[in-house]
Structure 1
Amino acid sequence: MTTTIYLVRHAAHDNVGGFLAGRTPGIRLGLEGRAQADRLGQRMRREPFAAVLSSPRERTQETAFAIASASGMVVETDERLDEIDFGDAWTGKTWEALNGDPTWNHWNAERAVARTAGGESMGEVQLRAVAALSDAAGRHADGAVVLVTHADVIKAIICHVLDLPLGHVHRFDINPASITPVVWGDWGAKLLWLNETVS
């Protein structure tokens, strides 16, 4: 039995790429992000799927709602799909401020072993995200499900699927409003394609 899992990164908020949003409350989709989410909803109507699961962050919930509502479904929230916990020291900081922090630079250079400042490691992110994916696959065997989450969470899952060290997360991109499907089964998992961006 196999399950197709569509890993979807949330659409863009107004300052995507401008600062580390992390788990900052109240970060919602901007005008372009809402348009991206609507396009995702229309794109995903071409794929049969049984459920839409989402991180609890507002930007993922809004993206997931656009996908679910376009196919007449509701959104289920799974806390294990949440953004990385970057801790109070980093959350909400600009990239300029972070780049001057040696602990931030260490974390980016040593993702396989380093821990965020007051938060979690990429290994912990991978464990919880893969568990969420495995549970979703078990509930929808021989079907498909959409998981709406965050770039680094998707990267952690892809590293697991491809058996890549977590230090290799910088070798590929996961853009806002992108789709990355994997097939999950008792035999293992495989990547179908990477980072399809809906135009």
Structure 2
Amino acid sequence: MPRAGLSRAEVVRAGAELADEIGFANLSMGLLAEKLGVRTPSLYKHITNLAELQHDIAALAMNQADTLIRDAMHGHSGTDALRAFAHAFGDYVAAHPGRYTAINASGFTGPDDPLLESSGRVIDSIAAVLRGYGIPEADMDHAVRTLRCAFHGFAVLQASGGFHWTGDPQDSYEWMIGFIDRGLRSVGE
């Protein structure tokens, strides 16, 4: 019988918290059981295996990121939408590095996968930013990939302590946003 109050959602939430604390690569069912105060076999009443837990963490994380991004972008367009997206994205990665790693480590399981659904919404948010710059539909895939790569790369490097020289990385992030903004405006003309 599962522990009273322990549910699949609680196991996934605790797994996400643990991934943020110790790193996604270090996540294990044993450590999660310890965090929850149960024996490891008790987790298998809620989650089939570590791979399923990791995928559920990715789906949770992408849904959280999607909500944060859409809320930040609401009512903004052009440069303001780009800045809102960039800051919401960067803030999420900084606050939840383990969860963000889960997103990038998980594949889609099928057309009904919640990870696929929320990933599509994030891509739609990026596309909305780009439409505000007048990016043609024919260039949309390239532009979406470019923005994703730029912000992903910066956020991951910053989260891993990858900027070891002088100066505030946040200043560089702002500079990058301005650089991308100027480039998008020139393409959309």
TM-score (ref. length: structure 1): 0.30
Q: Which has the higher strand share?
A: 1
Bigger RCO (CA 8 Å, 6+ sep): 1
Q: Answer with 1 or 2: which has the greater Rg.
A: 2
More helix by share: 2
